[in-house]
Amino acid sequence: MSSAGPFPRCSAAHEQRELVRRTDALHGLLAAWLDTPGLTVACGHWEDGAVSEIVPEGRAVLLPARYGGVFAGVRELRLTGAAHHLHIDLGRVERLRFTLAPCVCLGFKPSFEVRLMSRNRAGTASGDWSLSLMLGAPYAGESLDQEAARGFLARACAQLRAHPELTEIVVDEQVRASLAGQAILPLLREHAGTPDGDWPGVLRALRPAAPHAEPHSAADPAILPLLREALRLPDATLVLHRERVLVEFQTELLDGVHRYEEQGHVSWQIGAQHDHHSHLSLSAVDHVLFSAQASPCQGGGLNYTVWFQTARPSGNPFQPHGYFSVTLNRPYAQGRPRVEVIEPLLDLYRRFRDAPWVVADAAFLRVLAEGPPTRAESTVELQENLT
């Protein structure tokens, strides 16, 4: 974000020191798991079509940092005596999440996982992960392997106490209600010091300073200053588009973005509580796209839009990653561009374009360089694209 933004930036040297400090700490936490008997390193998601697995069998080593700058978090997970290896960028890891959740590989019995929760390009928690360390065989037949489970939970709870800012524990609701959950709960009670505690009480005792239903990053999303200014653009609309649903709010009738926090949970509301408003997960925004595409909505003219996009599809049938957008209502008057409406949007891009999570499409960059075209000029381009 440029220095012209409303919030001051930390110095580059401070950011670099913080990156090195966090990744060194994460390196130590991750390396401590590599001697776990029966450990499996799983990469990917089934919903993406593939999961790859590495079975270290005690041979995994996490090599020291080799690079500096923005790549200071890159580590190499190598198997001794084997060519196979894996590169991990700990700089993109928001925290370690110790997870007990139903797993297809275990017949939907609970898995015991250390998930490396990712940050998105905006630098905030994405709620997603691409790699996890998991117990390969935490059950003997249908019964919980008490020794394996006890060892996993002991190490997880020790890291929770030592590094609460980098770790959390989440137990899926289905696990809590399952027969396996009944066998797991007493093991967690031992570490929580709550002999008769229920699930909420045990989890609060293990991490009293953090929520467990929806962990989040305490930092404000990096996109927030840009969003606030986008909502102040003249003659614009906030648009939420999902399959068979289109919601539009005239931005001039909204009173900005409000931050709410309750018991550690942060939510973001656009619009006043007593008026029409929406709740959005700003931490899900991966990048912001400035777009100028010829559209029938503008009679063939350019549709000037600021897209707030997610890394994964979010339900918009025409812009799959388009979580929500701010778009200009009437960028033309009698076929001529309304420069007084378009120029503030162009200026918004100029002031934020240095942020790594801000991008623009080719048509928008052409407008930036050559100036806004007339509707007729854009209509010709639309017809060429359709043919």
CA distance 184 to 193: 15
Confirm or reject CATH 3.40.50.1370 for domain 224-386, answering yes or no: no
Q: Are 324 and 305 in contact (CB under 8 A)?
A: no
CA distance 174 to 180: 10
Between 280 and 122, the more confident residue is: 280
Residue entry with tokens 């000037």: 304
CA distance 348 to 299: 25
Model confidence at 380, in pLDDT bands (50, 70, 90)?
Answer: low
- Could you give the percent of the chain with pLDDT greater than 90? 41
Averaged pLDDT for residues 286-308: 91
Q: What pLDDT does 230 receive?
A: 95
Model confidence at 164, in pLDDT bands (50, 70, 90)?
Answer: confident
CA distance 34 to 78: 11
Indicate the domain borders of the chain. 12-206, 224-386
Straight-line distance from the first to the last Cα atom of the chain, in angstroms, rounded to the nearest whole number: 39
Per-residue pLDDT reduced to its tens digit, 242-254: 888 889 999 888 8
Q: What pLDDT does 376 receive?
A: 86
Q: What pLDDT does 212 receive?
A: 34
Averaged pLDDT for residues 162-179: 90
Per-residue pLDDT reduced to its tens digit, 329-364: 999 999 899 999 999 999 999 999 988 899 999 999
CATH number of 12-206: 3.40.1570.20
- Could you give the percent of the chain with pLDDT greater than 70? 89
Of the listed ranges 48-62, 182-196, 314-328, the least confidently predicted one is 48-62
Q: What is the mean pLDDT of the chain?
A: 84
Per-residue pLDDT reduced to its tens digit, 58-75: 888 889 998 888 888 899
pLDDT at 151 over 60: yes
| Domains 12-206 and 224-386 alike in fold | yes
Averaged pLDDT for residues 236-244: 90
User: What global pTM score does this model have?
Assistant: 0.58
Per-residue pLDDT reduced to its tens digit, 2-27: 333 333 334 467 677 888 888 999 99
Of the listed ranges 105-119, 218-232, 303-317, the least confidently predicted one is 218-232
CA distance 311 to 120: 8
C-alpha distances in Å from residue 27, one per residue of 37, 85, 132, 143, 197: 19, 16, 14, 33, 33
